[in-house]
Amino acid sequence: MRLIILGAGGYGHVIEDMAIQSEKYGDILFLDDNSQDKCSTFLQYKKEDTEFYPAFGNNAIRMEWLRRLEENQCRIASFV
C-alpha cells in the first residue's frame, strides 16, 4: 500500500510517523506546493493501492482537499 501525504510541513511529518508505525504502507510520498511535486499533481499518483491524506494545519484548506479527493474518488487514509 502506498500513502501520498499532501503537505510536507510539521503535520505531514507527524502523519508520516504514524504511517510508519502502522506498518501498513510500503511507500510514503509527500506532495507539497513548495517542492517539485506539487499538490495539484495528485491525480498522477492515483492507483488502486494508493491512499491520500491532506496534512494541512489550516482546517478550511484540509476540508477543501478532502472534498477534492472525494470528488476524484481517491482513497483517503485515516489515522487515529
Tell me the CATH number of domain 2-76, given options 3.40.50.2300, 3.40.50.20, 3.30.1330.80, 3.30.1330.200.
3.40.50.20
CA distances (Å), origin 9, targets 13, 42, 49, 63, 75: 6, 17, 24, 17, 21
Identify the pLDDT of residue 56. 97
Identify the pLDDT of residue 35. 87
Give residue limits of the domains in the chain: 2-76
Identify the pLDDT of residue 37. 87
pLDDT in tens, 7-61: 999 999 999 999 999 999 999 999 999 988 899 999 999 999 999 999 999 999 9
